[in-house]
Amino acid sequence: MRKKRLCMVGAGRVGRLHTRNITERVGHRAEVAAIVDPDRRTAEELAGDYDVSVVCSSLDEALEGGDFDGVVITTPTFTHHPLAVRALDAGLHVHLEKPMAMNLRECAEIKASAERAGAALQVGFMRRFDHDFIQAAELLRGGAIGAPVIIKSLTHGPGLPPPWANDIRTSNGMLAEVNSHDLDTVGWFADSAPVDIHVRVANFKGAARGVSTEHFYDTMLATIAFESGALASIAGVCPADYGYDARVEVTCTGGMVQVGEAGPAGLVSISAGEARRCAPVFASWRDRFAEAYVREMAEFVAATDGAPVRVGAEDGTRAVALVLAGTLSMLEERTVSLTEVTSPAFVPSWQAAARSEA
């Protein structure tokens, strides 16, 4: 069986993680055949580490020179739309990191490109590939504990994201960059369409860490109502400093389920000097979701062979709609209906690009 040839776009932290996993953990079925990054030095360093022979400065350059089965896009959010459309229009399968895009127009165009090309589009919500999250979803679908009534999901990230990711003009901010995962999870678990969202934010650490970006926040609490009547609460804290924390708890009409822990469970120690039982915490999303990221790439490779995609344009678009409605809720201090942002007339006025286009 010929190995699938993948083009890795973006040589940052996520690009490096996917490159390693494809090479070392899915290496019998796929290889990273090219690495694309406008920062050539970073791209070359990554290529060197994993014996990737081709390095390009742009996706165009890579597509001209090479023959690929799929493209893995791990660049900043504001670049997702042009890169994904370019790859899909070239007939290539695409794994696209979360959040899917900046707004719903971009989402719709990416989706249309995928449909035209008949290509697979997988969106990078790695929780969907985590064993415990999958088990929980099956438990919820199975009905043994009834229907969800309250879904609580949290993502606390350890450190300050890069400037573009903190700025709602370039990325829709923390709600998009950190809590997209929660927005996806609560919809997945609710198995129902979101109706409206209410968002409150706070800024505790920005000043001390030199962030003066307008509308910056490091603390967020969202409430989402679903058509089923279920309610969701999403908490975001970033930087949280104490570790990477991603947990979900679902209260149902006939029971409850908790997914995730703040750290691995298999090592507990007591030091006589402290007289406390202590266990490690997850330092990073790379630790917490190590196996989920591997499975994500393995399934993407399978998707380039026609296997169904676990999470695609529809889910990605729903999360972006919630990001937009949630950001509007924060800015206007009111509950925002999803229909407001899904209206063709809606323009996310806080986005630099949207403003220049409008």
Residue nearer to its own copies on the CB measure, 88 or 225 = 225
- What is the Cα–Cα distance from 292 to 183, expressed in whole angstroms? 18
Distance from the Cα of residue 29 to its chain's centroid: 24
42/293 Cα distance (integer angstroms) = 21
Q: Does 160 bind its own copies (CB under 8 A)?
A: no
Q: Which of 6, 257, 324, 338 binds its own copies (CB under 8 A)?
A: 257
Say whether residue 283 binds its own copies (CB under 8 A).
yes
What is the closest distance, in whole angstroms, from the C-beta atom of residue 170 to its own copies in the complex?
24
Residue 335 lies near its own copies (rule: CB under 8 A)? yes
Q: How far is the CB of 326 from its own copies (least distance, A)?
A: 13
150 is a site residue for its own copies (CB under 8 A):
yes
Interacting residues of 340 by C-beta distance below 8 A, sequence separation 6+: 325, 328, 346
Determine the Cα–Cα distance for residues 340 and 84; give it in Å rounded to an integer: 26
147 binds its own copies (CB under 8 A): yes
Note whether 263 binds its own copies by CB under 8 A.
yes
Question: Among residues 105 and 205, whose Cβ is nearest to its own copies?
Answer: 205
275: left (phi over 0), alpha (psi -120 to 50) or beta: left
Tell me the site size for its own copies, rule CB under 8 A.
79
By CB under 8 A, the residues from 183 to 212 that bind its own copies are 198, 200, 202-205
Distance (Å, rounded) from C-alpha 43 to C-alpha 34? 9
Among residue numbers 32 through 51, which ones bind its own copies (CB under 8 A)?
A: 51
Q: Which residues pair with 71 in a beta bridge?
A: 7, 94
Options 193, 207, 279, 352; binder of its own copies; rule CB under 8 A: 279
Give the three-class secondary structure for 266: coil
> What's the N-to-C CA distance of the chain in angstroms?
50
Chain positions 224 to 253 lying near its own copies, rule: CB under 8 A, are 225, 229-231, 233, 235, 237, 240-243, 245, 251, 253
